[in-house]
Amino acid sequence: MEVTKEEQESKGRFVAIDGDMEAGEMTYSIANDGQLLIVDHTGVDESYKGKGVGKILFEHLVSSARAEERKVMPLCPFTRAMFKKNKDDWDVLRHNSL
């Protein structure tokens, strides 16, 4: 499965692609002069539910935030839950976001 990142001025998303099928996406808004990613939605196609697509998207979010020295504010319930389970990833979490 390949994950791509698409960003425009104030919005972005990570997209999980399996062949020619979009398996899932994680969308976010960009704030604080590009330093903050506000994750608002994670969605997985029904045929890919339970196959770890959301986790793959989360891992790409964290990796990208680290590489670009950005912080994450998880408004999406899935992303909030992933941060609560993965305290090793809190280095990219915006202070007081959970």
Question: How does pLDDT run across 13-69, given as a tens digit for each residue?
Answer: 999 999 999 999 999 999 999 999 999 999 999 999 999 999 999 999 999 999 999
Average pLDDT value for the chain = 97
pLDDT score for 97: 86
pLDDT score for 96: 84
pLDDT score for 61: 98
All residues at 6 or more sequence positions from 9 whose CB lies less than 8 Å from its CB, including other chains: 30
pLDDT score for 91: 97
Q: Say which CATH topology domain 2-92 has.
A: Aminopeptidase (3.40.630)
CA angle 90, 92, 94 (to 5 degrees): 85
Residue 98 pLDDT greater than 90, yes or no: no
